[in-house]
């Protein structure tokens, strides 16, 4: 039997041979990348003194998925107003007025009584009329004139739970047959995880690429977080392959049954950049709390941009609906100008939908692969939604598409952090927590404590703290950036119960 060192050398030799076979295909990419980096360095001085666009300038027009003003921004740069890659996927310019659902037969509208609406004594306060036109079997339309003028940050309440830190709890959930059935139906299995910790002396190493290997094949790739941890998964789609080693920072360590691996690196990467992307469901079912969520997000964006002057912060705001709506995905490039991002949030409203699943797969693919994330940045993708993606039976290959996007996010070090809103069911919770787990993210879920919106599912988690949503999101972002923000802030503000009484 070969010794430990001999097996490690074999793995390295196989990987080297594998990389050599692919080298010719990578040469062009290496040259292009080098040119981009050189260009960015030469432009850095100009960028630092570039004039900001006046606040009165309009948000760039979004009509087609094209680049406005020339080419995309350099992903390694810190430019706030170069040329932006903003666009729309699946735009339907001839749709009816916003907030009105298109029927199954053109021109046939359906009027329903209040009794057909979800049971909530506060529904009318969130823009739901007593009678409305509705698509049969669909969601409930919202009055487009309603804009929740009193919506303000710190109103919604939320909890947070990180399954990577409570992995035993996560695995125990699958003793429930419903969780196992959903996992099988979605071809998404997350019960085989290897944790890698990379340090340089006593210091954790950020943004180190870690690979899970089976011979010369890479099964899963992730990047270490601010704590030097990366989470690697295998047999996610039941392919039957098992790993035998982990490679990171030039070292290869044989697993030999281990679930946790420590690797020493030469030095830690300096961390001074944050790329923050918001991916928001704007279908009609989000109407009961979207205006409040927008207020929370706007507060978070402003406060995060002021959290640490040493940080270079870019923000991207993106919206999605479903096939057949006014648009499927409306996306905006990363910006350093917070006013742009706030304007994009302010101008969006809830409309469309028609059935429960939405185009999560299209929006996630665009968020991960359609944006220029900076290589050395902390990368966070908030997904604000209340409904699952479509299933395999509806759209062929959709589960594979979702898994591919999640793996790509993990490989880039993009942390997916869901914000589960009212209407989330067990399937949606499973999917969101799986995406967060596989990318080193965490799960945020809205609760009923604020008294706002329709009913929120009680998340199947352990003991946790209820916080104002904006405080929760700001704290989480700061934790991923290594910026001290204080401890969790329990929600203590009085709020009305369904009968209008003040409670705590």
14-39 pLDDT, tens digit each: 545 544 544 444 454 443 444 334 33
Question: Which residues pair with residue 157 across a beta bridge?
Answer: 468
Query: Which residue ranges make up each domain of the chain?
Result: 157-163+272-503, 167-264
Contact of 480 with 444, CB cutoff 8 Å: no
Report how many helices (DSSP H) and strands (DSSP E) the chain contains, helices first: 9, 21
The average pLDDT across 179-200 equals 96
Sheet holding 245-248, edge to edge: 217-223, 209-214, 245-248, 251-254
298-344 pLDDT, tens digit each: 888 888 877 777 788 999 999 999 888 889 999 999 999 888 888 88
Q: Is residue 166 predicted with pLDDT exceeding 90? A: yes
Contact of 503 with 186, CB cutoff 8 Å: no
What is the helix (H) or strand (E) element at residue 343, kind and residue range? helix 338-346
Per-residue confidence band for 94, with pLDDT thresholds at 50, 70 and 90: low
The average pLDDT across 40-59 equals 35
Task: Read off φ and ψ for residue 314, nearest 5 degrees.
Answer: -125, 145
User: What was the pLDDT predicted at 271?
Assistant: 80
Burial class from Cβ neighbours inside 10 Å (0-12, 13-18, 19+) for residue 79 reads buried
Q: Which of 374, 382, 18, 414 is nearest to 230 (CA)?
A: 414
Burial class from Cβ neighbours inside 10 Å (0-12, 13-18, 19+) for residue 109 reads middle
Give the pairing of strands 157-161 and 467-468.
antiparallel
What whole-number distance in Å separates Cα of residue 175 and Cα of residue 203?
A: 38
Q: Is residue 126 predicted with pLDDT exceeding 50? A: no
pLDDT averaged over every residue in the chain: 76
What whole-number distance in Å separates Cα of residue 243 and Cα of residue 27?
A: 29
**Range with lowest mean pLDDT among 10-19, 107-116, 188-197, 330-339:** 107-116
Distance of CA 315 to the CA centre of its chain: 13
> Hunting for tokens 């009165």 — which residue is that?
56
Q: Is residue 122 predicted with pLDDT exceeding 70? A: no
Per-residue confidence band for 492, with pLDDT thresholds at 50, 70 and 90: confident
What whole-number distance in Å separates Cα of residue 218 and Cα of residue 247?
A: 10
Q: Is residue 228 predicted with pLDDT exceeding 80? A: yes
Q: Is residue 373 predicted with pLDDT exceeding 70? A: yes
238-259 pLDDT, tens digit each: 888 899 999 999 999 999 999 9
**Range with lowest mean pLDDT among 118-127, 141-150, 229-238:** 118-127
User: What was the pLDDT predicted at 20?
Assistant: 56
> Collapsing DSSP states into helix, strand and coil, what is residue 156?
coil
More confident residue, 97 or 264: 264
Q: Which of 44-58, 109-123, 220-234, 487-501: highest mean pLDDT?
A: 220-234
More confident residue, 388 or 194: 194
Contact of 207 with 224, CB cutoff 8 Å: yes
**Range with lowest mean pLDDT among 18-27, 77-86, 404-413, 481-490:** 18-27
284-295 pLDDT, tens digit each: 778 767 788 888
The average pLDDT across 188-194 equals 97
Q: Is residue 432 predicted with pLDDT exceeding 70? A: yes
Burial class from Cβ neighbours inside 10 Å (0-12, 13-18, 19+) for residue 137 reads exposed
Q: Which of 42-46, 334-338, 483-487: highest mean pLDDT?
A: 334-338
User: What was the pLDDT predicted at 198?
Assistant: 97
The average pLDDT across 45-72 equals 33
Q: HSE (CB half, 13 Å, CA atoms) of 283? A: 34
User: What was the pLDDT predicted at 302?
Assistant: 83
Q: Is residue 234 predicted with pLDDT exceeding 90? A: yes
Q: Which of 259, 293, 258 is nearest to 278 (CA)?
A: 293
The average pLDDT across 60-66 equals 32
User: What was the pLDDT predicted at 91?
Assistant: 83
Q: Is residue 212 predicted with pLDDT exceeding 90? A: yes
What whole-number distance in Å separates Cα of residue 350 and Cα of residue 348?
A: 7
Q: Is residue 100 predicted with pLDDT exceeding 90? A: no
What whole-number distance in Å separates Cα of residue 79 and Cα of residue 83?
A: 9
CATH fold, domain 157-163+272-503, is Rossmann fold (3.40.50)
In the 3-class helix/strand/coil scheme, how is 388-411 assigned residue by residue? CECCCCCCCCHHHHHHHHHHHHHH
User: What was the pLDDT predicted at 304?
Assistant: 83
> Hunting for tokens 């409904």 — which residue is that?
387
Q: What is the largest CA-CA distance in the chain?
A: 77
Q: Is residue 105 predicted with pLDDT exceeding 80? A: no
The average pLDDT across 140-153 equals 52
Q: Is residue 380 predicted with pLDDT exceeding 90? A: yes
Residues in the chain, total? 504
Burial class from Cβ neighbours inside 10 Å (0-12, 13-18, 19+) for residue 111 reads exposed
Pick the CATH number of 167-264 from 1.10.287, 2.60.40, 3.20.20, 2.40.40: 2.60.40
The average pLDDT across 109-127 equals 36
Angle separating helix axes 338-346 and 290-305, nearest 10 degrees: 180
Alpha helices in 151-261 (DSSP H): 167-172, 177-185
Q: Which of the 8 DSSP states describes residue 136?
A: T
């Amino acid at each position: 039997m070969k010794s430990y060192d001999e097996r490690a050398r074999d793995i390295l030799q196989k990987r080297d041979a594998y990389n050599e076979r692919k080298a010719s295909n990578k040469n062009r990419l290496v040259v292009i990348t080098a040119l981009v980096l050189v260009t960015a360095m030469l432009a850095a001085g100009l960028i630092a003194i570039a004039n900001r666009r006046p606040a009165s300038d309009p948000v760039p027009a979004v009509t087609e998925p094209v680049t406005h003003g020339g080419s995309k921004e350099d992903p390694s740069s810190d430019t706030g107003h170069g040329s932006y890659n903003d666009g729309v996927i699946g735009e339907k310019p001839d749709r009816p007025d916003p907030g009105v659902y298109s029927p199954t037969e053109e021109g046939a509208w359906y009027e329903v009584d209040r009794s057909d609406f979800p049971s909530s004594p506060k529904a009318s306060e969130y823009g739901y009329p007593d009678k409305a036109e509705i698509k049969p079997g669909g969601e409930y339309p919202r009055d487009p004139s309603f804009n929740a003028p009193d919506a303000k940050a710190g109103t919604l309440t939320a909890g947070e739970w990180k399954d990577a830190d409570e992995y035993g709890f996560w695995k125990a959930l699958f003793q429930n047959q419903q969780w196992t059935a959903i996992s099988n139906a979605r071809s998404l299995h997350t019960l085989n995880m290897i944790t890698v910790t990379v340090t340089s002396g006593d210091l954790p190493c950020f943004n180190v690429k870690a690979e899970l290997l089976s011979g010369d094949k890479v099964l899963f790739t992730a990047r270490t977080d601010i704590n030097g941890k990366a989470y690697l998964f295998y047999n996610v789609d039941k392919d039957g392959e098992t790993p035998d080693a982990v490679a990171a920072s030039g070292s290869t360590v044989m697993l030999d049954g281990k679930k946790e691996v420590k690797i020493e690196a030469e030095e830690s990467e300096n961390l001074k950049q944050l790329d923050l992307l918001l991916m928001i469901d704007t279908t009609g079912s989000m109407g009961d709390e979207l205006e409040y969520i927008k207020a929370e997000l706007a507060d978070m964006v402003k406060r995060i941009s002021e959290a640490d002057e040493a940080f270079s912060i870019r923000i991207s705001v993106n919206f999605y609906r479903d096939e057949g709506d006014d648009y499927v995905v409306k996306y905006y490039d990363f910006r350093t100008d917070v006013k742009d991002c706030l304007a994009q949030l302010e101008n969006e409203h809830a409309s469309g939908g028609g059935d429960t699943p939405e185009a999560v797969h299209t929006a996630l693919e665009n968020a991960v692969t359609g944006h220029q994330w900076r290589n050395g940045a902390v990368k966070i993708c908030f997904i604000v939604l209340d409904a699952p993606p479509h299933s395999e039976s509806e759209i062929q290959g959709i589960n594979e598409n979702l898994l591919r996007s999640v793996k790509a996010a993990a490989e880039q070090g993009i942390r997916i952090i869901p914000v589960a809103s009212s209407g989330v069911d067990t399937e949606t919770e499973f999917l969101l927590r799986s995406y967060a787990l596989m990318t080193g993210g965490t799960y945020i879920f809205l609760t009923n404590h604020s008294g706002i919106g329709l009913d929120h599912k009680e998340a199947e988690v352990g003991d946790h703290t209820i916080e104002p949503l904006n405080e929760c999101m700001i704290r989480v972002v700061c934790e991923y950036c290594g910026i001290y923000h204080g401890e969790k802030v329990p929600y203590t503000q009085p709020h009305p119960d369904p009968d209008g009484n003040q409670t705590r």
